[in-house]
Structure 1
């Protein structure tokens, strides 16, 4: 009998994420987040000054700090000990007013009222029992509030490694759900329809889907250190979705 992965097991695996990797992503995340994900998230959120935002699955807190620097009132939730400790240390040093809460997204505590927007960036693919996590994000919103989430694009996962091997992208499994081994903890493949249909079931109205491509000039600058990066110009490695709570 195959043991089904659990959120608790995933959290323990992500607890092995090293501090030096967090420090290397200061101040605005890794290459993909800087050039592909962050600009779209910020555009979708719009002016966040004075708004109450939840960073759901904040990791080491880099995006929470970006939102706070733009004037948002940020509450951030993270289940892992190591990344949460790092985020709290940064808050102690910077004093941005970010409130950090340790919790599994699937079992959110009372966070003190509804939020104007919830950001859940690159989190759902790491959560085995993801539907309760998405439901909690939606329920944390005020009516009409905005949920913005990003995932590895289900049609183009492992884009870079596949491109390096074949000079093109190849995919043999899409419709089923399965684990994708990674360095620290697995990701979980699900088709796009799984995410969008769950949004609909939760009463959300889709506002926008984005599939960002990398600027060719940035790809050219990075090609010597990151072979295959030109694949990001031609195919989207990420899917970013904005939806309103009904």
Structure 2
């Protein structure tokens, strides 16, 4: 599922008006400010679980129509799997969706003939996934777990995918790559979409102010929001393009392609930092297409 990144204040695909909600996730979690410091795996996972449990209702109310009930949208540029075919022929394939959110991608996969399993850290998101599965008549198996320790046997899946889910929010993305490689069969494909790494340099502003570099591309200090006691309530981790490739190679995966979707002509959508202005000048999304030899 397409997920917010850098919590709309900095660099991500999330509603800019989240504080206008009657009780926002920030209020529920006691978010008091922004910080920049190292964050370990346990703190990062705890923050992500709390954030998505608190924000699930508002996020889906704001963006449910955009992501659909049973659609596979890779990115804010509007690239759909039905058109891109990045996963190949999924008919009969056992597919793991990592960071599924409310699982519209998995429901699309089920309708396309696949046998998906949808995994997410957030219980609240998975409750919505179950409700939407029942409402659409396309229920899919749901598993609550973190992406760094997948609760599946070696070689369990033919394909794994993630559309802005999990990868930007974990402190150890290299572990995610190793785990995905472990649960894929030989020849299995792994495709995941994240914010294009260069977007880390810019503020989350879809207008002219978002065209000015604000920080170093090479600064890997995570972005986080904290409560009054300094505990993380939201965390996002940055990796460069080279980091992503090295993590894949170290996991024993082969990189087949990096897709950088161009902003479609005539698309006027503004969502978080994504806009026609910025989309015409530099990429907003990187989709890594790889396979296990």
Q: Same fold (TM over 0.5)?
A: yes
Find the partner of 1:17 among 37, 50, 55.
Answer: 55
Extract unaligned runs of 5+ from structure 2. 1-36, 227-232
C-alpha change, 1:35 and 1:163, in structure 2 (3 Å) is closer
Which protein is richer in helix relative to its size? 1
Which residue number corresponds to residue 240 of structure 1? 287
Distance 1:69 1:196 in 2: 32
Equivalent residue for 1:152, pick from 195, 202, 205:
195
* Partners of 2:99 and 2:266 in 1: CA distance: 32
Equivalent position SS for 1:44: coil
In the alignment, the residues of structure 1 paired with residue 247 and residue 203 of structure 2 have an alpha-carbon distance, to the nearest angstrom, of 28
Q: Is the 8 A contact 2:206 2:277 kept in 1?
A: no
Q: 1:45 aligns with which of 82, 87, 95?
A: 87
Aligned position for 1:81: 123
How many residues are treated as equivalent by the alignment? 243
Q: Distance in 2 between matches of 1:20 and 1:142?
A: 37
Deviation at 1:218, TM superposition (A): 0.9
Identify which range, 231-240 or 168-177, moves more after superposition: 168-177
CA gap of 1:108–1:200, structure 2 versus 1, over 3 A, is same
C-alpha distance in structure 1 between counterparts of 2:274 and 2:290, whole Å: 35
The 8 Å contact of residues 203 and 214 in structure 2, kept in 1 or not, is answered as no
SS at 1:146 equivalent: strand
SS at structure 2 position matched to 1:151: strand
Contact 2:190–2:290 (Cα < 8 Å) also in 1 = yes
Tell me the residue number matched to 1:199.
Answer: 248
- 3-state DSSP of counterpart to 1:145: strand
Taking only aligned residues, the RMSD between alpha carbons, in angstroms, comes to 3.1
Pair 1:231–1:6, CA change in 2 (3 A): closer
Q: Using the alignment, how far apart are the partners of 2:74 and 2:219 within structure 1?
A: 26
Which structure carries more relative contact order (alpha carbon 8 Å, separation 6+)? 2
| TM-score (normalised: structure 1) | 0.85
**Unaligned residue ranges in structure 1 (runs of 5+):** none
Give the CA deviation at 1:86: 0.6
* Conserved? CA contact 2:259–2:286, under 8 Å: yes
1:90 maps to what in 2? 132
Displacement over 4 Å in runs of 4+: 39-42, 181-184, 225-228
